[in-house]
Every structure is written in structure tokens, then in C-alpha cells.
Structure 1
Amino acid sequence: MFRRERGHMDNPQQSDVQDTQGQPPELAEPIASKPSKVSDYQNPDYYINRELSHLAFNFRVLQQALNEEYPLLERFRFLLIFSSNLDEYFEIRVAGLMQQIDFSREQVGLDGMGPQQVLKEISQKAKEYVELQYQILNESLLPSLRKEGIRFLRRNELSEKQQAWIKRFFYHEVMPIISPIGLDPAHPFPRLANKLLCFIVSLEGKDAFGRDTGMAIIPAPRSLPRIVKLPEDICDGRDNDYVFLSSIIHRHVSDLFPGMDIKGCYQFRLTRNSDLDLEDEVEDLAKALQGELLSRRYGKAVRLEVADNCPQPLVDFLLNEFGLNNEDVYQVSGPVNLTRMMSICDTNDKPDLVFPPFTPGYPKGLHSKRKHSNNVLDLVAKQDILLHHPFESFTPVVDMLRQAAKDPDVLAIRQTLYRTGARSEMVDALVEAARQGKEVTVVVEIRARFDEEENLALARRLQEAGAVVVYGVVGYKTHAKMMLIVRREGRQIQRYAHLGTGNYHAGNARLYTDYSLLTCDKILTNDVHKIFQQLTGMGRAVRVRKLFHAPFTLKKGLIDLINQETNNAKEGKPARIIIKINSLTESHIIKALFKASQAGVEIDLIVRGICCLRPGIEGLSENIRIRSIVGRFLEHTRIYYFENGDEDSLVYCSSADAMIRNLDMRIETCFPIEDQKLAARVKKELEYYLTDNTRSWQLQSDGDYEKNKPVRGQRRRNAQERLLDTLAVIVNKPSTE
């Protein structure tokens, strides 16, 4: 039986792991059965391990593949997203732990666990999850897809026509570019790139030169498709029959070694450390990064995935070659590169097997059809606009920049770019603005993980158009989402700003939940102006009035707001905190929340992924409730809500999570929602998430997550569906709910 409900519990140089101020775990005070108030916040029992919490989030993603309320291809997509997430987890987080051990720089986290213990638990849990993943794939999803006419054919299922077509495909498309490598003293074990599909072949006999090495390696070039669609005319009119590249190579592997006896052919894939290591003191950040990108594909080995029918001697041979041990090998019952199957979800013409499409909503005063659209700047001049993506369109943000690029009264545009996408309308508009002679300054974060190469190309394109491009500050990633437009209006200069919780990426704006604030508030836009000056110039930390900004005032500002709620509770005033973020690891924030809970503040945390705070400990965190939402869209908004006693509540949105890397090692912004109608709207939408009983998981004090379910007589509540109903227009909405 599949387990459905309970779960188990980025850069190593910029780790979110924190020490316990030198206090050995064995000296920490144990949790009393009924403490009045806990005063020692160093006890490792009060915290959850960062890496195991991260892995637990990935497990919650995997469990979406079992959710029969989702359309079939969406369940399949979640299974593949789990693979993609796990790849990055090993490339960055597991690699970082291994690196700590290799360099004798082992760090003990708040939870008291060192990297060796964490790696053992990761291996045990990840192997359990991967086994479940392939069980779901083979026993549930593939049979269900087959019933819907989407078939992945095995070698023994192929008809004579299909076999003949595959043979031609192999000889014309595969064999000319594949390079089998026999292993001998003149052909040492090849240097295999990160996550490359490969095969180890066991041979018998002598080749033309009299060699009898008994073994060969076949790397599959990335240019070859991992899934091959078969023509309808050889599939009895079916247009969704596929065969894996691995099956094609297996079937014809003997053609690569003529005259040799093939004893076995087994697929495998190696995962390597993919983090980049840039020194703080480099003369040219772009050139240094380009050099690092060349070596990323060949970092230290961290994981070996291999077919579960591969004989143990061959597995041991591979482990020895890669410097790995048995804890690092994952034997799988199916393709080793599941992520490459994602194309099936995106290209298959089966509308009933995917989520129904929807049309994002537009704010009042703007039209969805651009030819009738009002000038966004003119509307922002009258009122702040708050957009909740993807339920509301990202287009007004793009239009604001596009219109500014063409507006003869606009003098300057400044923007940060972290992730934008290969074909970005935002970049097109910035290029046009620069060519129109406007002062365009763009802070491009070329160290955005796995988007570095693309961002370097975007930077070159902007520079060629005449924009001023800077790469932020060495040692601090620019993660803030800011756009500033300077416009002459009569005799005055007016500034307009966009501040967001997510990236300037139109694709992500359809898949991630994020807030956008469009404003011309004089103080707020002046704050944005000062931060841009700080990023592009040099000088002491600037004073801003309404924004919090990391690494200077954001952490202190959040702690001060938490402490104010603590004081309000002690004084008998209304006190409540709601925080919705992606991750919570920062120790000072956690301790401030502990103290607030002890004072009686009611605290609700909506933490999508990593959470190191252990809730429900009497005398410490019994007033803290923590839930995770995993649904159709990736929850990405960062919101900080404070009841604020008898005054108006305080609502902030931010580009930052409550993590060390965000608060201490990145350029981040946290901006207030001052319009009370908009602030009330944010609070209302937070309540949707707090009452969700279909896509939410509750973190227990033992570190496990339990899926929330409607109790008898209770209505089903799905926060994302309620937001779609409220803010968007769903096309062909199913009538099941």
C-alpha cells in the first residue's frame, strides 16, 4: 500500500546551518514534562534539522502524485517535479554536507546534528522516498496513462513495424553520434558530466585488437531525446505511443560492439556537486563566473542512480570509480532520468488530464486587452495597485515598463533582474527604453543559481542596447525585486515603483503565487531610489524610512515587530502574528517567535518548505501553529502580518524568507502595504490559507507533517481554488467542487 498522509521528517559556504553557541548537545537542558516557561533556547530538541525538513517538503511534493483529485497528467507532473527537486537537493545541499566533511569544516546545527549523522538520515529517508516514487510510477501512473492512450512501450511489446522503425532510428539518429568507450589502459574511465544518462556494459570476447577488458561505458549525448514518439502509422493510429532512448540503446547495444558477446547493459546516472564557488575578491565577476560554469558539470560526485537489476560487482565498480559508498547509491526500477519525461505533460493534447485553464484577473481601471489598456502609470498615480499572481495578471507590470519605455516624459528606468526567462518581455522593454535614449540601469544578478549563463547573455544584450549593467555587490546576491521609473510631470519629477515578492519572469508568474505592489508613494519610491544608488554606487548604508532592507535593517525590523507583539500581549492588548514564507531557519527570528508564544501571542506560520522551529512544546511554542501548503501553484509569497495592538494592523510583503542567507547575505526588500483596504485584503487571503483543509499539512511537535482533512460536516476548503474563484476566470471549470 502507498503511504498517503504522514511525512517524515544553498551553498555550503553560505549555509543556513547555525551553531549552538558552543554548547554541546549533551549539556543542553532536556524538555521538562510541564515547564512553566522555557528560558534556555539552545536545547537542540526545540529545533528541526534544516536538511531533513527540506527533504520532508520534497516528500510532500511526491505525495501529490497520489492525490486522485488531481488530473492524471498533473499527478505525473508532481512525480517528475519530485525528481527535479531531489536532483537539486543532492547537487547543492547534500554536496554541501559532503564538502564540510571533506574540508574538516563540520558545522553543528541548532538541532545538534552534525553533517555525518544528517547524511545517514538523508540516505535512509531518500531511498525510501525514491522506492515509493518508482512504485507510484510503475503500479499507478503508467497503467493509468496507458488506459488514457499514453503508452510507454517496452521492448517485448514492440510490433515488427515498430522494431523496424526503431532500428532505422538507431542507425540514423543514435549510432552516428554515440561514442562507446571500452575500458583498458589506453581508454581510462571517462569523465562523465553531471546527470548524464549512461550505460555500463558487460562484455565477453576479444575485439579487433585482441583486447579483452570485459567492460565498456556508453554516455548518451544530451542532444538525443530521452523519449521518442513513434509515428501513428506504425501504432495502429495511436498518436501517443513512446519508447525510451534507454530501451532503444539496450535493444541495439550489440551493434555498438560487433563480434562481442553482451552479458548485460545497465543504465546509470551520476549526480555531482553543482554549486559555484566564487571568491569575494575577484577583479571581474562575469569572467570569474564564466570560468566556474565550465567546471560545474564536473564537480565532485555525490549520488549514483543505477538500474536495480545491475549486478552488485558492476555497482561496486562504479562506486569505486566515483569515490562513493553504498549510502550514495540509489537502485531504481525504471528510467534513471525521470525529469526528462516532463515534455509528456506539456505537449500532450489531453485537456481532460490537466488542470483547467484560467484567465488571470485584472485590477479595476485596467483592461485585459492591451489595445484598450489605460496607461498604467496614470492609474498608479491615483492609487496603489496590489496584484496577487497568478490569480491576477502579471501583464500590468510588463505594461507599466513597456509604456514607460515609450513615454517621452520618462527620463530614467532602474530595475533588478534575478530570474527573467530566455524570452523576456521585460528585457525587451528595457532594451527599447535604452535605444530611446532613456537612462536605463539594470542590476543583473548573474549568480542566480542555475540561471547564471542565461543572465550573462541578458546582461550582454542590455549592454549592447546602451543600458548600464551592474552585477550588484560582490559577496551579496541581489535578490530584491524592484523597478523604479522616473518621469517628468510638468515642473516636477515623479517616481513610480514596482515592488514584488517574486521574479520578473512571466512564466513563473503563471505558476508561482506572488504579490506585486505598484505605487508612486513619495517616501516609498524615494527609499527604492536610495537602494538603487547604494547598489550601483558606493557609500555608507543609506537611511530608508518605510522599507526594510537586508542586510541592514530587515532582520532587526522583523524582530522588533515580533517583540512589539510580545509587549502588546503582556499589556493585554490584541496580539497576533501571521507569517507566510517559503523557509524558516534564522535562529534570532525563531527565538523571537518562541518568546512571543510564551507571552501569549497567537502565531500562525505558513511555511511552504524548510522549517526549523518545532511547534507545540509546552512552555515554549504551544501558541505556534505551522502549516505547509502544497497545491497546483508553488506558494512563493512572503507576507508578515502583525496585529499591532489597538492600532491598524501592519502588513509587509517581502522578497526575503526568514533565512540567514536572505537576511544577512543578500540584498532584499520588505515593503509595507499601507492602504488599509489592500492590507485587509491580504489578511483575508491569509485566512484562506489558514482554513485550507485539502492542500495543507500541519507540522507536529515530533517533526512529522499530517495532512489536514475536512472533518464530518465541514466544507472542503482549498485556498488556491478560492483565490481562483475570487480573482480569476476559470475556463471549463469542473463541477466536482
Structure 2
Amino acid sequence: MDTPLLNREKSILAFQERVLKQAENASTPVLERLNFITIVSSNLDEFFEVRFANIKERIFAGEDSIDGETVEEWQASIFERVSKLVAEQYSVLDNEILPLLKQEGNVEYVKRGQWTRTDINQLTSYFHESINPLLTPIALDVAHPFPHIYNKSLNYIIELKGKDIYGREVDTAMLSIPKNLPSLIKLPNEGETIRFTSTCEVIREQLKTIFDGFTVKAAYQFRVTRNSHLFIDKEELTNLHQALKGELHQRNFGHAVRLEISAHMPEKLIDFLAKEFELPDTEIYPIDHFIDLTRFRELRDFLKGRSELFYPEFLPKYAEKWVDTDDIFSIIKNKDQLFHHPFDSFSPTVRLLEVAAKDPKVQMIRMTIYRTGNDSQLMKHLVTAAKNGKEVNVVCELMARFDEETNLTWASILEEAGVKVVYGIFGYKTHAKMLLIVRNEPTRKNPDHLEYYTHVSTGNYHNGTARVYTDFALMTSDREIAQDITDIFVTLGSLGRPPELKKLWQAPFTLYDNLIAHIEFEIEEAKAGREAFIMARMNALLETSIIEKLCEASNAGVKIDLLVRGACSLRPGLKGFSENIRVFSVVGRFLEHSRVFCFYRAGEKALYISSADWMHRNFFRRIEIAVPIYYEAIKDHIINEGLLSYIDDHTAWILDGETGEYHQDRFTIEERGAMLSAQEKLLISRK
């Protein structure tokens, strides 16, 4: 079947457009609207560092077309789409958010030409005391070639007139703004108005001081984004920890993939920078404002006490049974425990490991580490467990993108505490989220009887993301699930055959095949005239063979509803291909991160929570798991809260398979005004 697919990179950009719509939503608190703008900027950085960089590598290797377009057509379409997206960002910022901050919040961004004499005196003093000592201006001449520019650093290229102390004519100079400087500076309040400006504006004002003796004719900002892939030679690899440590620094000096420049920069300087970074016009983005909107995140710290500018505070539900109990294992043994973060607190997970670390009956703890954060209580409890004499085994994924340095640090800390740390299988990221606790619980027949307690999740063991990402987590004492997870841990730490799992699906061995088998079962049911449906939720749907199988199921009459937060290559609703498939995307206060797969299965409603998206890498180049849910009450809970409520959400975006665009037109404006989103309903349900 020749299934038409949507381009992955354009689908990623379509997701950024949906995120930006949150910034345009007048019902969203103004500082949260600003936050969505910074999220788009951060996401675009990663898009260029990773996805666009990957395409450029393919182009360098000789590829001449991308998803049916010539390279030139594809590059031009990406440039046009990104340019439009960035222009909308700045339009919303300038025309809506900054004016609203001033009118409704008494918060004002003050540009350089608007500073008062008091402002100038304060900023001048601050510049000399805290900024100037950290700056390194560089003249560009035959003795000072163009310097290495750090990935995503903000820089000025400056036009000068004059001679230096050695009598040399200098007409061009460079100045990089150190990353360890704050991005925003608080100005003196005017009455009740909180005022702030940007560090780069302060530096721009002081260029005459920095280049004393020269006339500063003009200065223009620029910022380069680089390929952030890490290259580690498998053939030469002897120690992944050491190899990765050495490679991380090089990430900041990979090939340039995007250049952001001041829109007022003259052509001769644009040509100069384009030549230095070896970039075509379609990878150079003029910005008619200061560059890098992620810097506005610091404003949240200035305004912590201004609750009206933020989303209403909520406290995740923390059931009384978890409070100050040391009998946490009895709770799990009595009944499987389900958590839907961030609506349910992450604290029971932390509490579970805290109790296990101190419990004399606990013999062993096994855990995967993918993303944990710099100040992780979970990691500290693992250290405590090891110091208390427990057998602690950890699979630490060193190649978790942009968290490599944090994971290297935790790996060293854990090893020093006596934890046995392995790095999984090189070439296969350990993305599964698993925690296993083995506890001695004597019986009359066996004083050494062991019980197993397992925690599995769709998301990371990260206290920070557990407050802003939606994820499902399960605690269970199911021995077969525990045995499956034990077998997976053993194979990750040693050689061996693929484990023969009883309940779990595991990539790269059985996850894909089982998923195909379940879709084929629904196909056969539909062909026999029986009810058949599939509901699934994930972050991305890109695997071509899965898309083809879903289209085959659609043609057989299987009803398919898919919640795909981000990139989706499947075109739904096309006659003869996918007319029984609907694709939804929910973008809201929390980042939708759960992976849930549900198959009607002749009324059984086979339900799995998983760490895996439906992408080639997740099926064939990662260690992933999908865990079955057996308790009917928990199964119904996940289906209702995690699938049906989102499919019925009036804020859900619907993918139009014909155009490849998303829309929100299922309900009238009047109907939408009286409805609550799925996330809002979940927040209310936990009060």
C-alpha cells in the first residue's frame, strides 16, 4: 500500500504553531502566555540542533530529495514556515503580551532609549562592577581571525572607526555575551510598576566604553545554532563514560545549522557571517527585535509573588494513606496503585524509594535512570540504600540528549557510594522507566521468602517534570511483571539471549511484533463483522510500517482514534486509506507525555501503558517496555481519564489529512465557552 505521509519536520513545526496558539489565547494568564512563547523558542532551538541537523547530514551525504520534494524546495518551505512562526512570536509579544503586562500587571520592559537618568546610573554602575570584567572583545583582523562561536550564544558584531594603541586600523570587532550573565536586569520601580531591561541592551549602551578610543558606528546581534549530535566511534570505544565526557564539549562547536541576525544588519556583514558559518540564505533568519526569547523566562523569578499573572496554583492529590507511612509495601501488595501525574502527586514514588532505602527487609533495588534532574531526591535515596548495605543496581542512560552531563555526574556519585552502575547496551538507549524492589518477607515455610514491588511509568523519574508533564505510573506486586523486569535488567547488565517475557512487551524484541499482532487481531474482528477499535495516545507517530498497518485496519472497518501530541506522519480521514482514523492533539497547561495503547480485543479491552512512542527508534533502537493493566477499575480509569476525556476535549486540535493542517472547529465559540478542557477537569477532580 502506497500510503501518503506527512513530512516529519513540517509536522514538528506544526506542533510549535499549536503551542504558539496558547500564547495567543486571551484566557491564559499573561505570564503563562509569555512562557508559551519561550517554550516555542526553546523547541525551535532543539528542532534545528537535532532534526534539521539530521537532514543536513543526509544532504551532505548526497541525498537529493526529502519526502517527495527536492532539497531546495524542502529547505525553502522550512525557511518560510519558521520565518512565519517567529514573526508571529514577536508580534504576539510586542502587540499583546508586553502591553498587557504593563496595563494589567504593572510590569514594564524598558528599552535602551527609554531609560531614565536613575536607570542609567544604576546600569552603568552594574556594568562596571558585574559585566565588564567578564567580557572579551575581539578585533577582527589578520592576527585575530573569526573566533569559535559557542552554540546558541548571543553575540555582537560591531562596526568601528579608529586606530588601536598600536596604530592599526580596526573596522570590525566581535563581542560574545557570556552565558553565565543574567539575561534580564531589574530596574528601580516606578510607583507600583516593576521595571526590567535586558543585559544585552546594557552591553550595547556601553560599547563606547568597551571600545574606548574608537567610534562605534553600529552594532548588530547574531546567534548561531549548531548540530548537537554527539559522535562516538563504536569501533574505537573502550569506555563510554570517558568518551562521552570528551565529546560533550564538542557539541557546542558542531556544524552551523541556523543563523539568527539583527534585521538591520548590512548585506556585507550578512555575507561575511554566512561565509564564516557556511550557510545558505534559507538558513539565515533576520530578527527585528532582540534575539533569543528564552531569556524572558527569568521574568518569572522577578514576579513570583504576583499570583494573578500565573496559572492558579494547584496541589497534586496526595492520598492520606501515603502520609508518613512506613507500611508502603502493604498498600501496594493489597492493590495495584495508579498515578496520573501531575494531577496525582509524585511524592509516593519518592516515598517508596525513601522507605526502601532504610527498610532492613529490602534486599535489592534496581532502577533505570534516563532524566532525573540535578537535585534528585530519588538519586539521593539510592545512595542511602547502598550505604545501608543493600544491593543497588542502576542502568544509567548516558546518551539521554541534553541530560548527558547530569547523568555522568550522578553515575559517578552512585558508583562512589557503592551502587553497581551499568550503561545499558551501546547503540540502544535505555528509555524504559522501571524501578524494582526486592524485599524479604518470611513465611512459616520459608524464612527467606522474597516479595517483589515494581514501579513502571510512561515518564521520567524527575520531580520537576512530574509537576508539568502528564504521565501514568503503576506500582504493583505482580510477580510475573517483576520477573519480566528482572530479566530485562539482567540482560542490560550482561550478555544473554532476549528474555522470554510473560507479560511485558519489550523493544527491540517483542514490542513492535506484539503491536502489529494486536492491530491484526482487530482487522480480523472487523472483517468478521464484529466490533473492533483501537485507541492510542503517544508523543509521536512516525513509523511507516505501523502507519500502513493502521490504514489497513481502517480499510477493514476498525475505528481508530489517536492522540498524538507532536509529530504525526499519518494522514487521517483519506478515502481508501484512512477514513476510519481520527488524529487529535491536545496542547494545554501541562505537556501531554503519556503513552497508552488500547485494543478492543473482543471485549477484553487490552490496555498497555508504555515508555515508547510509535517511531522507528523506539521500536528498534531503544530499550522500551509496554506494561499491561489488568485490574478493571484501573483499566477503566485510564481509558476514561487518559483517552476518552482527551478525545472529547473541545480544545483538542484535529488533523486534516487532506491539507496536513490542524484545526479546532468541532464546536462553536458559544459551546467552547461553556466547556472545560480535559486538563481542567482533571485538576478539579483532584480537589
Aligned equivalent of 2:286, options 295, 315, 331 = 331
1:255 aligns with 2:209: yes
SS in 2 for 1:219: strand
SS in 1 for 2:351: helix
Aligned equivalent of 1:322, options 261, 264, 277 = 277
Deviations for 1:212-235, whole angstroms, at most 9, x for unmatched residues?
Answer: 2310001111122121112x4xx3
Aligned equivalent of 2:401, options 449, 455, 465 = 449
| Paired residues for 1:254-403 under 5 Å | 254-281=208-235, 282-348=237-303, 349-363=305-319, 366-367=321-322, 370-371=323-324, 373=325, 375-403=327-355
Contact 2:204 2:219 in 1 (8 A): yes
SS in 2 for 1:339: helix
Contact 2:595 2:612 in 1 (8 A): yes
Cα distance in 2 between the residues matched to 1:98 and 1:431: 43
Aligned equivalent of 2:21, options 37, 54, 63 = 63
1:114/1:534 Cα in 2 relative to 1: closer, same or farther (>3 Å)? Answer: farther
Cα distance in 1 between the residues matched to 2:311 and 2:655: 25
TM-score of the superposed pair, with normalisation by structure 1? 0.90
Cα distance in 2 between the residues matched to 1:387 and 1:380: 12
Aligned equivalent of 2:153, options 173, 177, 196 = 196
**Which residue does 1:130 correspond to in 2?**
86
1:304/1:713 Cα in 2 relative to 1: closer, same or farther (>3 Å)? Answer: closer
Amino acid at match of 1:494: E
Contact 1:414 1:440 in 2 (8 A): yes
SS in 1 for 2:453: strand
**Which residue does 1:76 correspond to in 2?**
34
1:346/1:378 Cα in 2 relative to 1: closer, same or farther (>3 Å)? Answer: farther
Cα distance in 2 between the residues matched to 1:186 and 1:270: 23
1:140 aligns with 2:63: no
Contact 1:694 1:709 in 2 (8 A): no
Contact 2:572 2:655 in 1 (8 A): no
Deviations for 1:104-159, whole angstroms, at most 9, x for unmatched residues?
Answer: 2x2866x4346554322111110111111111111111111122221111122111
SS in 2 for 1:574: coil
SS in 1 for 2:321: coil
Cα distance in 2 between the residues matched to 1:82 and 1:697: 20
1:525/1:347 Cα in 2 relative to 1: closer, same or farther (>3 Å)? Answer: farther
1:143/1:322 Cα in 2 relative to 1: closer, same or farther (>3 Å)? Answer: same
Deviations for 1:378-424, whole angstroms, at most 9, x for unmatched residues?
Answer: 11111101110000011111111111111111100000000000011
Cα distance in 2 between the residues matched to 1:115 and 1:470: 41
Contact 1:97 1:119 in 2 (8 A): no
**Which residue does 1:25 correspond to in 2?**
none
1:718 aligns with 2:677: yes
Give, in angstroms, the shift of residue 695 of structure 1: 4.4
Cα distance in 1 between the residues matched to 2:309 and 2:667: 25
Cα distance in 1 between the residues matched to 2:605 and 2:107: 52
Over the matched positions of the two proteins, sequence identity in percent amounts to: 42
Amino acid at match of 1:42: D
Give, in angstroms, the shift of residue 713 of structure 1: 5.0
Deviations for 1:293-314, whole angstroms, at most 9, x for unmatched residues?
Answer: 0111111111111111222221
Deviations for 1:456-486, whole angstroms, at most 9, x for unmatched residues?
Answer: 0000000011000001101100000000001
Contact 2:256 2:278 in 1 (8 A): yes
SS in 2 for 1:175: helix
1:96 aligns with 2:54: yes
**Which residue does 1:408 correspond to in 2?**
360
Give, in angstroms, the shift of residue 699 of structure 1: 3.7
Cα distance in 1 between the residues matched to 2:269 and 2:64: 35
Give, in angstroms, the shift of residue 163 of structure 1: 0.8
TM-score of the superposed pair, with normalisation by structure 2? 0.96
Cα distance in 2 between the residues matched to 1:631 and 1:264: 42
**Which residue does 1:42 correspond to in 2?**
2
Deviations for 1:470-522, whole angstroms, at most 9, x for unmatched residues?
Answer: 01101100000000001111031111100100000011000000000100111
Contact 1:74 1:345 in 2 (8 A): no
**Which residue does 2:384 correspond to in 1?**
432
Give, in angstroms, the shift of residue 359 of structure 1: 1.3
Cα distance in 1 between the residues matched to 2:76 and 2:286: 17
| Structure of higher RCO (CA pairs closer than 8 Å, 6+ residues apart) | 1
Deviations for 1:650-681, whole angstroms, at most 9, x for unmatched residues?
Answer: 11000000001111000000000111111111
SS in 2 for 1:366: helix
**Which residue does 2:539 correspond to in 1?**
582
Cα distance in 1 between the residues matched to 2:147 and 2:41: 25
Give, in angstroms, the shift of residue 180 of structure 1: 0.8
Give, in angstroms, the shift of residue 628 of structure 1: 0.5
SS in 2 for 1:42: coil
Contact 2:552 2:577 in 1 (8 A): yes
| Paired residues for 1:151-190 under 5 Å | 151-190=108-147
Contact 1:511 1:634 in 2 (8 A): yes
Give, in angstroms, the shift of residue 247 of structure 1: 1.1
Aligned equivalent of 1:551, options 505, 508, 517 = 508
Cα distance in 1 between the residues matched to 2:440 and 2:73: 61
Contact 2:316 2:343 in 1 (8 A): yes
Deviations for 1:187-212, whole angstroms, at most 9, x for unmatched residues?
Answer: 11111100111001011122222222
Contact 2:554 2:579 in 1 (8 A): yes
Give, in angstroms, the shift of residue 69 of structure 1: 1.1
The CA RMSD over aligned residues, in Å, is: 1.5
1:482 aligns with 2:482: no
Please say which of residues 163-172 and 596-605 is displaced more in the overlay: 163-172
Deviations for 1:20-63, whole angstroms, at most 9, x for unmatched residues?
Answer: xxxxxxxxxxxxxxxxxxxxx225xx110111101111111112
Aligned equivalent of 1:85, options 28, 34, 43 = 43
Aligned equivalent of 1:469, options 399, 421, 426 = 421
Amino acid at match of 1:250: R
Cα distance in 2 between the residues matched to 1:117 and 1:287: 42
SS in 1 for 2:134: coil
Amino acid at match of 1:291: G
SS in 1 for 2:601: coil
1:701 aligns with 2:658: yes
Cα distance in 1 between the residues matched to 2:160 and 2:548: 61
The unaligned stretches of length 5 or more in structure 1 are: 1-40, 730-737
Please say which of residues 339-348 and 70-79 is displaced more in the overlay: 339-348
Aligned equivalent of 1:212, options 145, 154, 169 = 169
Give, in angstroms, the shift of residue 641 of structure 1: 0.5
| Paired residues for 1:560-709 under 5 Å | 560-645=517-602, 647-685=603-641, 686-708=643-665
**Which residue does 1:13 correspond to in 2?**
none
Contact 1:90 1:302 in 2 (8 A): yes
Cα distance in 1 between the residues matched to 2:33 and 2:388: 47
Contact 1:197 1:220 in 2 (8 A): yes
